[in-house]
Amino acid sequence: MKKIVLLAVNVALVAMAGWLPVKPRDVADLLPVEVLVLSERDGLLYLDGGNDLAGQGRTWAEAVEDLTETAPGVAFFDTVAHIVLCGDTLTHLDQVLNDRALRPAARIYLGQGNVEADSAAPYLATHQGDKTLQDLQAAWLEERTVTLPPLTETDGRYRLSNDG
């Protein structure tokens, strides 16, 4: 017990002295991502985070890493509220479901048409689908089939099938 207390005190002293490798971050450098749109072209995944945040790669992780590395600041994924999977990207759903950086409450859609994060964000802020990342994770574990709500873009306008 004495060793544990001494270790905790030493760690606290080192932290207070500023010797631990901590990256200070300016809040102004944070780039909140609200909508992620995943599409696929020519064997590459393209990830659109809006506000000129974009990445590409052969896998979800590579696309996220590319988006993070090319961002003009720090891409902040804790704010992702909507994920849109376009075209054949459903084959990468398992990678999306296993990404612990995403909020379980993020809504997931099946994108149809030319869905873009910047133009879809205002629509999705007021028209939300009924499937969340957590719903899909539970269904995946239980081996249940889930139908994603389609988000359709036509001539720059968006529509969810359950909008009535």
Q: Any bridge partners for residue 75, and if so which?
A: 31
> What is the 8-class DSSP label of residue 149?
P
Tell how strand 30-32 and strand 74-76 pair up. Answer: parallel
Task: Supply the pLDDT for residue 20.
Answer: 54
pLDDT level of residue 30 (50, 70, 90 thresholds) = confident
Contact between 112 and 86 (Cβ < 8 Å): yes
Task: Supply the pLDDT for residue 8.
Answer: 58
Is it the case that residue 162 has pLDDT exceeding 70? no
Average pLDDT over residues 42-71: 96
**pLDDT over 90 percentage in the chain:** 77
Contact between 48 and 72 (Cβ < 8 Å): no
| Domain residue spans of the chain | 29-163
